[in-house]
Amino acid sequence: MRYLSFVSNAGILTRGTIDTYSLEDFDRMVAISVRAAFIGIQAAAQEMKNSGRIVLIGSNTAIRTAFPGGSVYSMTKAALTGLVRGAAIDLAPRAITVNNVQPGPTATDMSAPHAEMVKTLIPLKRIGEVSEIAGLVSYLASEEAGFITGASLTIDGGYVA
């Protein structure tokens, strides 16, 4: 069976401590990380009549705020976990699954400057590869993942274990 799939991978990181964080930056972070995911789920669900796979890309910071100035980023990623659980219940009668992948440090341009330092904090002593994250997303978008919904799956080399 062929499934329509939607993957939402939008997010930005604007760091700042909670006592100095601007309301403008807060609104922008929420708009890009949370509001965009909501709109994407809504639009995808309208196209998916009676089956489909929706996957959000969050962050392991939903579980653990790992650095000073990351509270708002972590909050937006934690919001995705609640959105996924609720959307999964709403869309289950239509056989649409909704899940959240929560990567930890991954070999991307954004993490490159901090990769060596971060590796020391990860039990597997390396950062993740994009292909590893993509493999999990691909599985969640497949027919075989039809009984997984409402889940937030962390893939971070044991960083938040």
pLDDT for res 156: 96
| Torsion 2-85-12-160 (CA) sign | negative
Q: Which amino acid, 132?
A: E
Active-site residue set: 73
SS (H, E, C) 56-78: EECCHHHCCCCCCCCHHHHHHHH
pLDDT for res 108: 86
pTM score above 0.75: yes
Q: 37 exposed, middle or buried (CB, 10 Å; 0-12, 13-18, 19+)?
A: buried
CA distance 61 to 75: 8
Q: Which amino acid, 16?
A: G
Q: Tokens in use for 39?
A: 């709109």
- Residue 154's H or E segment, with its range, is strand 152-155
pLDDT in tens, the chain (161 residues): 667 999 999 888 899 999 999 999 999 999 999 999 999 999 999 999 899 999 999 999 999 987 889 999 999 999 999 999 999 999 999 999 999 999 999 988 877 777 788 889 999 999 999 999 999 999 999 999 999 999 999 999 999 98
pLDDT for res 2: 67
CA distance 9 to 112: 19
pLDDT for res 99: 98
CA distance 13 to 33: 9
- What is the architecture of the domain spanning 5-155? 3-Layer(aba) Sandwich (3.40)
Helix boundaries (H) for 31-114: 36-47, 71-91
